[in-house]
Structures are given as C-alpha cells and as structure tokens.
C-alpha cells in the first residue's frame, strides 16, 4: 500500500509550546504534504505526554490539580497546530481512555511473555529526566542534563528485560542503515550498544511516590513509567494493534524526534515492540536543537522563542520557510530574528518575489494578462529546461531524505537561473521589436517554471504556494497534483489562461 505515516514526539504538558516543538511539527506537516504530492496516502500524528513526576511538579508549582492542569496545556498544543497551518490526522493524549487501555494490554502481554520481573533497585533519581542514574553517569554528583543533585532512592519495582534484546537490536541497526537517520545518530546508538551496557529498564513507580500514571494491570500498587506509557501513543493514536488504522499505517511508520530523546526511541521502543510481538517501525529521523545565542532553547533556561509571535511578525509561511531552510537536518541551528529577516529579504523578497512580480507584470503589459503560447525553443530555453528538471529531481530526492535545507537550495538554484534568464532573454526588447513569437516562448517558459516552483514549495509554504498558483490563473488542488511527472516534462500550464492583476507576494522587511 502506498502509505506514509510520521509521528512527532508527544510533547510534555509541563511547559508551553515553543519554537522547538513548532519546528518538529512543521517538519512533520511539510513532509506529509510532500508525500501527498508524491501520490501517497500520507498522515502525521502528534499529541501530549501527560503522566509522571515532571507534570505533577509543574501542576503543583502552578497551584493546580494535575488533571485540570494537563487539560489546559494540552489544549494549548492542540490549538497551536492549525494556527501554524499544520494538520495532524490525530491528536493523542496519554490520559485518553483508549490509550490507557492499550498500555495496560501491552504491559499484560509483555508480563505474560516473561519479559517483566519484580526486583529491588536503588539509584540516583533525577525528576527532570524521570530516570535513575548510576554513580558513573553523574557529573560531579549532579545530573548531567539538569545540573541538579538527584535523590537517592531505594525501592522495589518492575523491570523490563531490555538487556536480553541487545544482540538482535544491534544486528537490526547494522543490517538496516536506514533504521536511524542521519548516520551520526545511528553511529551514536551503535556505539552505545557496543559498549555492552544495556540494562534492564525500570518500568514502574510505586503509588506511594507517584499516583499520576497508568496502573499496572498485574499490580495495583504501581503505575507505569512514563516512557513505557508514552511511546505506545504512536500505536494508540491510530486505533491500537490490529485496528484498520494500524493495518494501514503501522507498516510504514516513521518517527521524527530531536536528539534529546534518541535513546528511548532507538533502544527502549524497538525492544518494547519486539517484546510485545509488534513489528518494528521503519525509520527514526533525528534532528538537532534550535539554539538561541548558542544555548538550547528550553523553558528552564528562559530563552524561549514563541512561534506565533514570529508568524505574526513575519508571516507564517516565511517563518516555516526559514525553519526548514536554516536548519541542516541533524545538526543544531541558531535562531535569531536578524537571521530570519536576512533570509526573508534575500530568498523570498529578492529572488522569488522579484521573479514573480517582474514576470507577471510583463505578462500583464505585453500579453493582455493571459498566458502566452510558446513557439519553439532556442538553446537558451533548452538549457534552462534541463536545469529546471535537474533541480526539481534533486529537490524531490533531497526532500524525501529529510534534507530540507539542501532541497530548498536546489530549488533556489532554479529560481536564480530564472531571474538570470529574464535578464538574458530580455522580454522588454522582444516586445519593443514586436517579436511576439519569441516573447511568447520566453514568458511561457518562465510562467511554467514558476508554476513548478510554486508547486514544489507547497509543502513548506502552503498559503503562499496557493497564492502563487492564483497569480498564475490556477487553483491549487493538492490531491490531484503529483510531483513525479514535474521532473520529467513541461507544458502543463495552458496558453490563453487569463491571469489576475499581479500583487506583491513577499514584501521586504526592514
Ligand atoms: O521529550 N530544538 O517531550 P518534550 C529542537 N514527552 N527541537 C526541540 C527543542 C529545541 N530546542 N526543544 C524541544 C518529550 N524540541 C517526551 C516525548 S515521545 C513518545 C515522548 C522538540 O516536550 C523536539 O522534537 O520535552 C524534541 O524531541 C521534543 O520537542 C521534546 O519535547
């Protein structure tokens, strides 16, 4: 089946959505739109992660009951996505009853299969990370992530026999180079596995310490560890194991996360799936951090960028474009408003915006506002068309591989070539000479390449792409357009089509 299924992390409700969350969800949305244009039945899902100590503490700090607190923040995430023009097919909360049922069924299955045992454990527990640290892992006695002293806790708990899965998981990652991408994260996971330190995973918390969680089906004195609960949301969101949604989408499942949660996705999750008798996901895609002034953006550090402020100030699509263009998927990137404005002016106002306004105003002036008919290519057009097809083929291959920045760079190679072509073909001279045939060829070639450009930009800038289509006299219909043919042929734009009066698409920002 030609399906595509992508998940974002389900975000913790201990803090308000910020640029980091917006980036992952916008990437998921752009990728899903791209796959739809490639002809696939493509969806992405998102949601909120609501159980565990971290959320209880945030609710206490806010002076609210934890359930009510989670509902409010979860609703904030849910309301944000349409405002960023991202369209998840499902929004899952880990407090949803169907999700709880799935987690309990899954725990029951793994327990019955003998992969869960009861044992004593002591260690340094960091509430921020929701995990135990060994002496060796601490840095100067502090949690390496949060730089706080963990509590030393000793208690009886349930453990998942994760260590027994080390061998096949290592083999699976070795044999399937695509399983974890980009390569550096695959290497990181293999290095971790090769060091042979895969422990069993503590998957319970005694209710004496934490009640805000899903009760273990085989011991009502305990709730489930938040990660064992959260990861299963990827399956409950599509209806649970065996459902129609599961049959349709799970075989193509891909995950999208930042590097902070590489280990749970690369190690906990595949071993959980194997233990529960569920086929593994296909691919884990890992991106880097957005930094502000060289440090990771996070609520505790107080250097948050609010996505809606940026969208309101510079336009949503310009913001989406910036995020995908600026970050090389896999590496960290710096966020600054100066950087955003510079890109907006250079790429959007100058390169793309100028191309549209120059060409459209010439069509309006020289061709009575209708798409002219082409009449035979010269070497100039042949070279331009070769370049266009090459750029579009590159764009498609790179975008499909999550290399968004390079994909857009490739598309801009075309945009810049089109601007150069305007200069060298000089339609104004042809108009003055009364060479209607050549003028028709030049302007038609430009309009057709602009249509292709707009179409390829739709995943990243949906509203602007639709505006561009309107400017070209067309109505954008995502479900009827397929990208593959666009890198092979020209001429889908019909001559004679009347165009509306040109408007400025990307005004400069000062
Ligand atoms: O980890 N740069 O939730 P979370 C880039 N609930 N991306 C960032 C970012 C930054 N500075 N900050 C956050 C959790 N993100 C768990 C996930 S999944 C079963 C459970 C994005 O709210 C990025 O996608 O801490 C990162 O992986 C995620 O938010 C972490 O969100």
pLDDT tens by residue, 288-307:
999 987 777 666 677 778 88
Assess if residue 498 is contained within a domain: no
Contact 23, 327 (CB under 8 A): yes
Comparing 54-68, 195-209, 394-408, which segment has the lowest mean pLDDT?
Answer: 195-209
- 429: CA distance to ligand 1 center in Å? 55
Catalytic residue among 108, 172, 296, 328: 296
Tell me the average pLDDT across 29-37.
Answer: 97
- Which protein residue has the closest C-alpha to ligand 1 atom 15? 20
Q: Is the CB of 258 under 6 A from ligand 1?
A: yes
Q: Among this protein's residues, is 449 annotated catalytic?
A: no
Radius of gyration of the chain (CA): 26
- 393: CA distance to ligand 1 center in Å? 32
pLDDT at 1: 64
- Which protein residue has the closest C-alpha to ligand 1 atom 8? 20
Compute CA distances 385 → 362, 368, 380, 396, 449, whole Å: 21, 25, 9, 16, 8
Q: Are residues 241 and 375 in the same domain?
A: no
Q: Is the CB of 26 under 6 A from ligand 1?
A: no
Q: Are residues 282 and 351 in the same domain?
A: no
Assess if residue 314 is contained within a domain: no
The percent of residues in the chain predicted with pLDDT above 70, rounded, is: 98
Q: Are residues 384 and 278 in the same domain?
A: no
Q: Are residues 348 and 199 in the same domain?
A: no
Q: Among this protein's residues, is 143 annotated catalytic?
A: yes
Residue from 31, 258, 267 to probe ligand 1 pocket by mutation (most atoms less than 8 Å from CB): 258
Domain boundary among 253, 270, 287: 287
- Which protein residue has the closest C-alpha to ligand 1 atom 29? 21
Residue-wise pLDDT tens digits, 360-381: 999 999 999 999 999 999 999 9
Q: Are residues 279 and 352 in the same domain?
A: no
Q: Are residues 157 and 9 in the same domain?
A: yes
Nearest to 504 by CA among 357, 286, 306: 357
Q: Are residues 52 and 149 in the same domain?
A: yes
Q: Is the CB of 237 under 6 A from ligand 1?
A: no
Nearest to 274 by CA among 108, 188, 176, 162: 162
pLDDT band at 51 (very low <50, low <70, confident <90, very high): very high
Domain that includes residue 214, residue range: 3-287
Q: Among this protein's residues, is 111 annotated catalytic?
A: no
What is the number of other CB atoms lying within 10 angstroms of the CB of residue 311?
18
Q: Are residues 459 and 379 in the same domain?
A: yes
Assess if residue 57 is contained within a domain: yes
- CATH for 141: 3.40.50.620
Q: Is-above-0.85 flag for pTM? A: yes
- 179: CA distance to ligand 1 center in Å? 20
- 297: CA distance to ligand 1 center in Å? 11
Q: Which atom of ligand 1 lies closest to the CA of 11?
A: 22
Q: Is the CB of 77 under 6 A from ligand 1?
A: no
Assess if residue 99 is contained within a domain: yes
Residue-wise pLDDT tens digits, 398-408: 999 999 999 99
Assess if residue 423 is contained within a domain: yes
Contact 106, 29 (CB under 8 A): no
Nearest to 209 by CA among 228, 227, 222: 222
Classify strands 90-93 and 116-126 as parallel, antiparallel or unpaired: unpaired
Catalytic residue among 51, 54, 99, 126: 126
Q: Which atom of ligand 1 lies closest to the CA of 14?
A: 22
Q: Among this protein's residues, is 296 annotated catalytic?
A: yes
Mean of all residue pLDDT scores within the chain = 95
Compute CA distances 82 → 22, 88, 91, 308, 316, whole Å: 11, 9, 12, 11, 11
Q: Is the CB of 289 under 6 A from ligand 1?
A: yes
Residue 250: pLDDT over 80: yes
Assess if residue 443 is contained within a domain: yes
Q: Are residues 114 and 233 in the same domain?
A: yes
Assess if residue 299 is contained within a domain: no
Q: Are residues 261 and 348 in the same domain?
A: no
The percent of residues in the chain predicted with pLDDT above 90, rounded, is: 87
Residue 153: pLDDT over 90: no
Q: Are residues 151 and 218 in the same domain?
A: yes
Q: Which atom of ligand 1 lies closest to the CA of 233?
A: 19
Give me the numbers of helices (H) and strands (E) for the chain, helices first please: 20, 16
Q: Among this protein's residues, is 18 annotated catalytic?
A: yes
Nearest to 208 by CA among 193, 195, 223: 223
Assess if residue 296 is contained within a domain: no
Q: Are residues 236 and 114 in the same domain?
A: yes
For the chain, the domain total comes to 2
Q: Is the CB of 50 under 6 A from ligand 1?
A: no
- 261: CA distance to ligand 1 center in Å? 7
- 23: CA distance to ligand 1 center in Å? 10
- CATH for 448: 1.10.730.10
pLDDT at 208: 92
Q: Among this protein's residues, is 146 annotated catalytic?
A: yes
């Amino acid at each position: 089946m030609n399906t595509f299924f992508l998940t974002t992390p389900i975000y913790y409700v201990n803090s308000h959505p910020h640029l980091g969350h917006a980036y992952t969800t916008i990437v998921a949305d752009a990728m899903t739109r791209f796959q739809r244009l490639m002809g696939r039945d493509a969806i992405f899902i998102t949601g909120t992660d609501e159980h565990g100590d971290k959320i209880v503490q945030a609710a206490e700090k806010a002076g609210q009951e934890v359930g009510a607190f989670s509902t409010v923040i979860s609703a904030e995430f849910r309301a944000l996505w349409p405002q960023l023009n991202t369209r998840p097919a499902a929004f899952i909360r880990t407090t949803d009853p169907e999700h709880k049922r799935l987690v309990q069924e899954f725990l029951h299955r793994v327990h019955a299969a003998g992969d869960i045992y009861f044992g004593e454990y002591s260690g340094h527990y960091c509430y921020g990370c929701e995990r135990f640290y060994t002496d060796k892992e601490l840095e100067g006695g502090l949690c390496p992530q949060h730089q706080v002293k963990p509590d030393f806790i000793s208690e009886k708990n349930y453990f998942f026999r994760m260590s027994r899965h080390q061998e096949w998981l290592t083999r699976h990652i070795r044999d399937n180079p695509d399983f974890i991408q980009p390569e550096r994260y695959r290497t990181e996971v293999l290095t971790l596995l090769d060091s042979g330190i895969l422990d069993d995973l503590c998957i319970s918390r005694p209710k004496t310490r934490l009640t805000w969680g899903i009760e273990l089906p085989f011991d009502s004195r305990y709730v489930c560890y938040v990660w064992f609960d959260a990861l299963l949301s990827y399956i409950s969101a599509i209806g649970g194991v065996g459902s129609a949604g599961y049959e349709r989408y799970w075989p193509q499942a891909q995950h999208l996360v930042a590097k902070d949660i590489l280990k749970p996705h690369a190690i906990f999750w595949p071993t959980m799936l194997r233990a529960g008798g569920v086929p593994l996901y296909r691919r884990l895609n890992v991106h880097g951090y957005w930094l502000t002034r060289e440090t990771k953006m996070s609520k505790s550090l107080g250097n948050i960028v609010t996505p809606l402020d940026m969208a309101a100030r510079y336009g949503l699509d310009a913001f989406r474009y910036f995020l995908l263009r600026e970050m090389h998927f896999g590496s960290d990137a710096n966020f600054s408003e100066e950087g955003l404005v510079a890109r907006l002016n250079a790429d959007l106002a100058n390169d793309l915006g100028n191309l549209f306004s120059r060409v459209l105003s010439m069509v309006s002036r020289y061709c009575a506002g209708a798409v002219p008919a082409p009449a035979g290519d010269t070497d100039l057009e042949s070279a331009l068309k070769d370049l266009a097809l090459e750029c579009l083929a590159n764009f498609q291959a790179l975008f499909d591989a999550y290399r968004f920045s390079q994909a857009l760079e490739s598309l801009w190679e075309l945009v810049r070539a089109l601007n150069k072509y305007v200069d060298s073909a000089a339609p104004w001279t042809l108009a003055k000479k009364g060479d209607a045939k050549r003028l028709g060829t030049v302007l038609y070639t430009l309009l057709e390449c602009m249509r292709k450009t707009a179409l390829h930009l739709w995943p990243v800038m949906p509203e602007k792409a639709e505006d561009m289509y309107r400017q070209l006299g067309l109505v954008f219909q995502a479900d009827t357009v397929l990208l593959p043919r666009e890198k092979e042929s020209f001429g889908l734009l019909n001559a004679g089509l009347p165009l509306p009066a040109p408007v400025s698409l990307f005004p400069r920002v000062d």
